[in-house]
Amino acid sequence: MILQQTADLNYIPKRIISLVPSQTELLADLGLGAETIGITKFCVHPTNWFKSKQKVGGTKTVNIDQVHQLQPDLIIANKEENVKAQIETLAADYPVWVSDVNNLADALQMIADIGNLTGKSVAADTLIGSINKSFATMPKMEKPLKTAYLIWRDPYMTIGGDTFINDMLIKCGFENIYSDKTRYPEINMDALHIANCQLLLLSSEPYPFKQKHIDEISKQLPGTKIILADGECFSWYGSRMQQSPAYFTRLIAQIQGIN
């Protein structure tokens, strides 16, 4: 059963599997260590969970047999990160709750929903309040820069206006030059040059951009500021958002200090 609303689960789950890294970290911060019995191989936070919890494959390659062995009473998934066919297969045997997060408001609602599902609504409300306060007091760019955010290489891929990352760029005061596109379009360096890209952010995930990629791209875009970006702060929409405003503040100061 795919849960349409949190009230559809009329018990507090005791055997939870999370198929989404950022939501796995959220479960940990809500105090659900004993209840969470399975995670994916990409659920790297918290470290002790990554080392000790049962893995059930990847976000897009869930091992259905391993899930059956664990017999969960709740599976937590995400519309974008997981594969629809696999989720439907799992929903035939277990309650599955699927989040759909495209902006900060969606992310905060997701935290509230998971709090309600797991009997941790008080902790979830406290977390939401903390995140809201941090974003409300976060500075923005004094002067917006035409910005592109790369998530992949060979081919280069960026982010459109209907993504959570785009909303984080807006919160920082960056102007996403691909805000009129959807999801994750492919681009090339010529397109960035034509678009007069002033700032290029290279994410640490899912593709692990490094300094060598800055060196390579800067030869093609000599007038563009190119900076490595913390992909978790830009794309993890769970309790990681507690850390994001402080990181964004440092990033903005770094960018504005570049002549």
Spatial distance between the Cα atoms of 79 and 84, rounded to a whole number of angstroms:
7
Selection from 172, 169, 173, 170 nearest residue 149 by Cα: 169
Structure tokens that stand for 66 in this block: 């391993």
Higher pLDDT, residue 5 or 74:
74
**Looking up tokens 């696999």, which residue turns up?**
86
Confidence at residue 4, expressed as pLDDT on a 0 to 100 scale: 73
Q: Give alpha helix (H) positions in 31-80.
A: 47-52, 64-70
**Total length of the chain:** 259
In percent, how much of the chain has pLDDT > 70? 98
Selection from 256, 198, 209, 197 nearest residue 234 by Cα: 209
Confidence at residue 6, expressed as pLDDT on a 0 to 100 scale: 72
DSSP label of 164: H
pLDDT tens readout for residues 244-253: 999 999 999 9
Spatial distance between the Cα atoms of 60 and 19, rounded to a whole number of angstroms:
9
**What pLDDT band is residue 141 in, cutting at 50, 70 and 90?**
very high
pLDDT tens readout for residues 6-26: 767 889 999 999 999 999 999
Spatial distance between the Cα atoms of 75 and 107, rounded to a whole number of angstroms:
18
Q: What are the chain's domains?
A: 6-135 (3.40.50.1980), 146-256 (3.40.50.1980)
pLDDT tens readout for residues 121-130: 999 999 999 9
Stated pTM of the model: 0.94
User: How big is the chain by its Cα radius of gyration, in Å?
Assistant: 19
Confidence at residue 2, expressed as pLDDT on a 0 to 100 scale: 77
Residue 43 has pLDDT above 70, yes or no: yes
Residue 259 has pLDDT above 60, yes or no: no
Q: What is the mean pLDDT of the chain?
A: 95
pLDDT tens readout for residues 182-203: 999 999 999 999 999 999 999 9
Confidence at residue 258, expressed as pLDDT on a 0 to 100 scale: 64
